Amino acid sequence: MKAALPKNEALRVSVLHRYAILDTLAEQSYDDVVMLAAEICNVPIALVSLIDSDRQWFKAKHGLCVNEAPRELAFCAHAILQPEQPLIVPDALADIRFRDNPLVLGDPGIRFYAGAPLLSPSGEALGTVCVIDTQPRELSERQVQALQALARQVISLLEMRSLVAELDMLSTTDGLTGLRNRRAFDQKLIVEHQRSARSKQPFSLLLMDVDNFKTYNDAFGHQAGDDVLAEVARIVQYTVRSYDMAARYGGEEFAVILPDTDKSGALDLAERLRHAVERAEWMNRKITISIGVASLSPGQTVPALIKEADRALYTAKEQGRNRVVDADVD
């Protein structure tokens, strides 16, 4: 019997996705939870099970090899319908909801199931810590309480994961523009350099500067200057592709890392950025940007690539600004 959808299904799935836990690699802390669950309940199978919109995915598993199962077959899809208490199924063959389930009639031959719902701090049931046996059985009250305690520990792990991700984002995000900061840029550039060396795929770099920014600040004040930087950043973020990284490089300088992009593609994107800024409506006076473009050459180091892009940017400003310059032809 297929489980009904919770009344808060859309919110529940949204909360689950915000944790960014689905399809992540195995982690010892979650593996420890299922090991303890199996030991405490004396069962061969234990899972940390998360119910996505159309599947049941296992963050941790003990005694089972598969990583996920269809949601319509999941016992845990029933468990999240009563989040205030564990779902206990002493004998699946005697339960009308499960007696025809392929997981009961076939592999792994489920007879006993107990699942303690994973409740987010705001009350959404995201999945369960569950234990399974191939023989009918019961759990003691202390075993049920232990299962619930382990479910609370999983939620604590998810919350800690979310907090660490948030702190990491704050530490790598520029407060004024919302773009990645120089630290994040430096890290990403090294990663893309290594990936390009392995895959032999091209990647390119744009360095750009807001033209005559100092005179703008002097004329209209630092708040107006900050507004310009924030708007330029918005235009850059809107124009680049989802897999590119735009960053505030420093002061009025911005940078964009372009994975899998050759010189031709980089120049095309740079021109689109330049035109987008030039055509935008500005409060006090027209704003333009100059852009230097460099693409990685075989054997080239990261510092050398940055130096090339910076040299091209300098040439763009020397030649009158509001232009794109290719490092190879400047």
Annotated active-site positions, please?
252
- Positive or negative torsion for Cα 322, 188, 172, 163: positive
Spell out the SS3 assignment of 254-271.
Answer: EEEEEECCCHHHHHHHHH
What is the end-to-end Cα distance of the chain in Å, rounded? 70
* Strand-pair category, 203-210 with 125-133: unpaired
Compute the distance between CA of residue 310 and CA of residue 297 in angstroms, rounded to an integer.
16
Compute the distance between CA of residue 50 and CA of residue 175 in angstroms, rounded to an integer.
34
CA-nearest of 269, 217, 220, 213 to 243 is: 269
Give the chain's radius of gyration (CA, Å). Answer: 27
- Nearby residues of 250 by Cβ (< 8 Å), 6 or more positions away: 182
Burial class (CB in 10 A: 0-12, 13-18, 19+), 21: buried
